[in-house]
Every structure is written in structure tokens, then in C-alpha cells.
Amino acid sequence: MAEHLDLHTVGDLLHHYPRRYAERGELTRLADLPLDEHVTVVAQVAKAAMKTFNHGKGVRLEVVVTDGSGSLTLVFFGRGAYAREKELLPGRRGMFAGKVSVFNRTRQLLHPDYELLDRESGADAAESFAGRLLPIYPACKQFQSWKLTKAVDTLLDLFEADTWQGIVDPLPPALRDVRGLAPLADAFRKVHRPASKADIEDARARLKWDEAFVLQVALARRRHTDAQLPAVARKPVAGGLLDAFDAKLPFTLTDGQRTVSAEIFDDLATEHPMHRLLQGEVGSGKTMVALRAMLGVVDAGGQAAMLAPTEVLAQQHHRSITEMMGELAEGGMLGGAEQGTKVVLLTGSMGAAARRHALLDLVTGEAGIVIGTHALIEDKVQFHDLGLVVVDEQHRFGVEQRDALRSKGKQPPHLLVMTATPIPRTVAMTVFGDLETSVLDQLPAGRSPIATHVVPAKDKPHFLARTWERVREEVEGGHQAYVVCPRIGDTLGDEPQGEGDTPKKKAAAEEPEAEKRPPLAVLDIAEQLARGPLGGLRVEVLHGRMQPEAKDDVMRRFAAGEVDVLVATTVIEVGVNVPNSTVMVIMDADRFGVSQLHQLRGRVGRGSAPGLCLLVSEASEASPARARLAAVAGTLDGFELSRIDLEQRREGDVLGQAQSGVRSSLRMLTVIDDEEVIAAAREEATAIVTADPELERLPELRTALDALLDKERERYLDKG
């Protein structure tokens, strides 16, 4: 069990819950079996036949089992087939486990393991299964579900004999009573050995609460500890840099931007570090909110650092921030404003002289704002007085890196984390539970709507031809276009980590036809377009393997209107802002995730002209991949899409990305469906931790917390 299922202790086994339950009178639907997956089915033998092959030298037993919805063939080769033939008689029922494959258009299990449920010779086995729901456990080839059932049965029998001594119940009795939850021992008994469906519901309700509550207590303690840390209060001063900046803004802030700014300035004015997550749709003006916070901190005598996940994005932020600030970004320089400050860029690829200059500006305090990549975290980088850290695109930035930057301040700096990936409320409470959340859901005035359409390239090739005509029309109308591909090119492989996520392999695997060819590549597509349908237009490429200077040069020329069509990888997914680009074509769109498509789409329609996004795919119409693309085409609401994305992916991926220490603790809880449980658990956890931060009056909860947070996970949470 330890080797194949990562189950090491009695507790691990008790927490290894059944995936589903089969009833003796109700059969699993064989019609819905997935190919290439290891399954356990409960079915009845319909017929069995011994056949010969290879001129009578070889034998095989073919057993057809059925459940009314469909049938499945079990195949056994060799001498062992004769023993199976005597057992697997028509009318016998059993549990069969194996990997589903197809032979001659018939689904089959090759040499499956099985356990007969009504074997005359084993009355005990039949009785143990009689009259109850059969738990089907998450299992594997080396350790089948019924072996787990027997192991758990052994445990439950031992516990019954020992009246469940030693089971630590993490929920305080008062909380259990108020919420009407079963005791933990009952929940274990009911989840593994249910007498009815009501038992399963009772057990699930209780065990979900355990997971939600213990996790929320961990996060509440994290928040409580953070609230005790000292920080320098940073209050903007009247008539300073922030006021000067606001006075020269050519537009008014949205209500949302004003509200969120007020929340941030309230946090900055306290003597405890701010920990705030700022979520906002692509183009909702998060950078403006972050910049105003940074200017407020500079006014208060501190410095602000903004971290971006890639050099392209750091350069883009530096460019847009210095443009927005104008002479205010030239403090201490000739022609600079009196109350201005210096805004410096610090990246790994800078020349030695420029880097030395930037480092000097930071340590003397000459530079109030620094924008950079991971290079900001290196030991050599010293600040005069770091007051605020802004982290852009949190999900691409490691916790340890965030922590290293925090330690640059004399006291812990305030922290603002920004993401353009909308996160459902429950995920925010679970994954970013130690951060307060602000949401920008209004688009600034003047932003245009984006029309999105799926282009079925295989079924309707003329649609693809029309796609390139549309691109040409937009360019002739004075606009620009993006073409996004999953890969760089055969000789260069995929994007390096951190330069835009490589598209999900899972998405490609859903489509057998998609697997037959590699994903389309930037270098190939750019060449085909320049020679063919977009001949005569200025086509350039951009990808993560280019030298930083070359990347910056291409982006500058694209922003200046000197490039008509930019063929790129997902390196343009975040932060690239070219208002004149109105159309985006995403090749092999089915190979990208829902949230990623939404992010990419946000690069167009950033000016006054309407945006158009075309999702090109060869996936067949009835496939899950096409359903995913239809969902993206159907709504511009990032929060709705993030729910769809989460429902389609395993939750562990989502939690694992941001909080790997939490992943394995969610066995029963699903963050989308159990919103009420999570919200209620957060409330209860906050109240308990406020009253008793060290949990001295709740030793059982403390024990459960220690089990959830081993040293490694504790460190992970500690790093925020």
C-alpha cells in the first residue's frame, strides 16, 4: 500500500475514502467505461467460450459480462484459462478490475483480476458483501479495490473491539453539536461500511467539515501571526507624488479602482503588514491601482518593488509606468519633476554597468520604484527602505521567492499580490486563505467588447481561409494582429518554464487525431503565413527562447505599429498592452486551458476598436475539447470561465499550483461544490483562533493540525 498508493499508516487507510459505491442490485454502467483507464466494475457473466488460435497451439477464454447498459469482454490466455472457465460460469456475478482496451471494436479487459460475489465455496465472502453497498476504492493495478475493502474491514473490526480508542476528533464538541455533525468514529464507519445512502451522506458531510475546518484553522493562524508582525505605516502625504500623478491623469478612475485603492491605502496606514490579493479581469486597470499604491509608499518615505514573472513583462511594466508618470519618473534628473522619483528596471540580462547603476539607486534610496524579475531577489540587491512589494501574476511566482524579497525590508514590507486569472471565491478562501481579497470587476471606460468564434479547421477548411482574410482586412484598416501557437519550433522545443505555460498535454490527449501530429509551432506558421495568405504584410515572431534584447526590440516595434502580425507563443499571455491590436488567432486552441485562452484573448480590444478572437481547432465537434472552446466563446466573464476550468480539471492541480502543501489534504472536499462548507468553516476557524491562537483549550485540533502541517507544509504556509 505504501509503495503503490502512498498509504503508510492506519490513519492514511481510514482517510482513503471510496470513490463510489456499487449496489448488489444496481450495476455499474459498462457503456460509459473510459478507454486506457484502470477500472473496477460489478457485472454478471453472460457467456463464456474457450477458443483456439495458432492452429490449435494456443487457447484463450473469452468471457462476456454485462450490466444491462452494455457489455465487456474479459480475455484470458494460456493454461490458466481452464481454471477461470470453471469459475466464470454464466449467471455468476463479480467485481472485475483491469485496464480497458479495444480489440476488433470491442471493449475488453485483458487478464483482469476478479472477485466473485456469490461464490458457493466462500460463504463468508458472499455474506460480507450481502445486503450492503460495495465500496469501490481508488486503486491501482498492483492493489485492487477489494483488497483495500478487506484491509479496511480488518481495521474496522479491530476498532469495534477496541471502542475506537485513540481516534482524535479535531472538531470541538460545541461546533459538532451546533452543526449537527456525526462523531468521527461514526463517520469512518459509515463511509467505509454504509448500510444506506443516508449513511454515506452523513459521513461525507462530517468528513468534508474536517478537511475544510482544519485547513481554515491553519490559514486563520497564519493570518493571526501575520497580524502580530510589525510594519512601518505608510500614509501618503498631501501635495506629494501621488497627488501630482492623479492631477495629470487623462481619465477618471473607475468606481472599482477607487474602492480597491481605498482598501489598500487603509491597509498601508496600519502598523502590521498588508497581505492583499488583487484579482481583476484582463484590462481592468490593476496596474494603475498598484502604481498609485507604490506612489503613496514613496510619498511616505519608502520604496516599492514590483515583481513580474518574465523579462518581457518587466520591461513592459517599466515602459508603461514611466510613460504614465512622465517627468514624475525622472526624480533628481534634468527636466524631472520636483516631487518625482526614479523608476529603475532590474533584470538578469542587463549589462554590468546599467545593473551597477540600478543597484546603487536602490541602496541610496534615489530610486523609489524598482521593477524587475527574480533578479530582484538576489543577495546583492539591497534596498534603502523597502515598504511595499507588488507581485504580478502570483500563480507563476514561487512562495520561496516571495519570501526572499520580503526579507529585504528592515521590517516586513506590505505585500500586494495581483492576478488576472479570476479565482472563484472558494478557491481564493482555500488557496489564498492567508490574504485579504479585493476584486476589480469593472472594465475602464473606452474598452471594447471582444467577439470570440471557434474555427473548425478540419470540418470547414474554408473557415480557416476566411480567418486569414479577416486578419488582412484588420491590417488594411490600420490595425494589428496576434497569431498564437503552442510551440516555438521543432528545433527549439517548447517554451522554457516561466516564459508562458506550455499548453496542457491533457487537452491534446483527449483527441486521438490531435495526437497524430505535434502542436503547431511559431516558426513554421510564421513562415507559412508570410509566404501564403499574409504575403506582403510585416510578419514577426516572438518566443521565450529569443535573446531579451531581440524580444524587447520586436515588442517595441509591434507597439510602435511597425509590425502588422506578431506570431508568438504564450509569452504574450500577460501584461502585453498594444491598444491598436484588434484580432487574435489562436492555433490549436484545444491545447490550451480555459483560463489561459481567456488571458490570451484579453490582449485584443484594448483600444477603442472592437476586438476579435478566433479559436482555431481540429478537434471533432462532439469532443470535450470543443465544448471547452465553446464555453470560452460563449462568455467574457472570467469568473464563470474559472469555474468551468476548475470543474474540468482535477482540484489538486489548482490547489497544488499555489499551495502544494495543501494538495493531499483534500480527499472529500471539492472547492467548487462545497462553497457553503468552506465559508462556514472559515468563519468558525477565525472565531476559534481569535479566542485561542495557540489552541491550548483544543488539544485534539492541535494534533490534527500537526498531522496536516508536517514541517515541510508548515514552512510552506509560513512563507505565505
Q: What angle do CA 208, 209, 215 make, to 5 degrees?
A: 95
Q: What is the pLDDT of residues 683-695, one digit of tens each?
A: 999 999 999 999 9
In terms of Cα–Cα distance, which of 669, 701, 608 is closest to 204? 669
Ordered DSSP codes for 526-585 = HHHHHHTTTTTS-EEEE-TTS-HHHHHHHHHHHHTT--SEEEE-GGGSSS---TTEEEEE
pLDDT, tens digit (0-9, with 9 covering 90-100), for 188-218: 999 998 988 899 999 999 999 988 898 889 8
Please tell me the chain's helix, strand, coil percentages from 3-state DSSP, rounded to the nearest 5.
45, 20, 35
**Please, are residues 3 and 117 in contact by the beta-carbon 8 Å criterion?**
no
DSSP 249-296: -SSPPPHHHHHHHHHHHHHHTSSS--EEEEEE-TTSSHHHHHHHHHHH
Cβ atoms of 444 and 607 within 8 Å: the answer is no
Average pLDDT, the chain: 81
- Kindly indicate the confidence band of residue 495, based on its pLDDT and cuts at 50, 70 and 90: very low
pLDDT tens per residue, range 64-113: 998 877 889 999 988 788 888 988 999 898 888 788 888 888 889 888 88
Q: What is the mean pLDDT of residues 547-574?
A: 85
The answer to which of 99-108, 245-254, 646-655 has the lowest mean pLDDT is: 646-655
List Cβ<8 Å contacts ≥24 apart for 203-207: 204/668, 205/181, 206/181, 206/182, 207/17, 207/667, 207/668
Average pLDDT over residues 533-552: 88
Q: Which grid cell is 567?
A: 506570431
Dihedral sign, CA of 342, 346, 349, 355? Answer: positive
The 10s digit of each residue's pLDDT in 370-379 is 999 877 877 7
Q: Which residue has the higher pLDDT, 334 or 411?
A: 411
- As beta bridge partners, residue 484 has 568, 586
The set of cell numbers assigned to 290 is: 498598484
- Is the pLDDT at 506 greater than 50? The verdict is no
Give the pLDDT confidence score for residue 711 in this predicted structure: 53
- pLDDT tier at 337, thresholds 50, 70, 90: low
Beta carbons of 370 and 386 less than 8 angstroms apart: no
For 635-648, write each residue's pLDDT tens digit.
Answer: 887 777 877 777 66
The position carrying cell 481619465 is 251
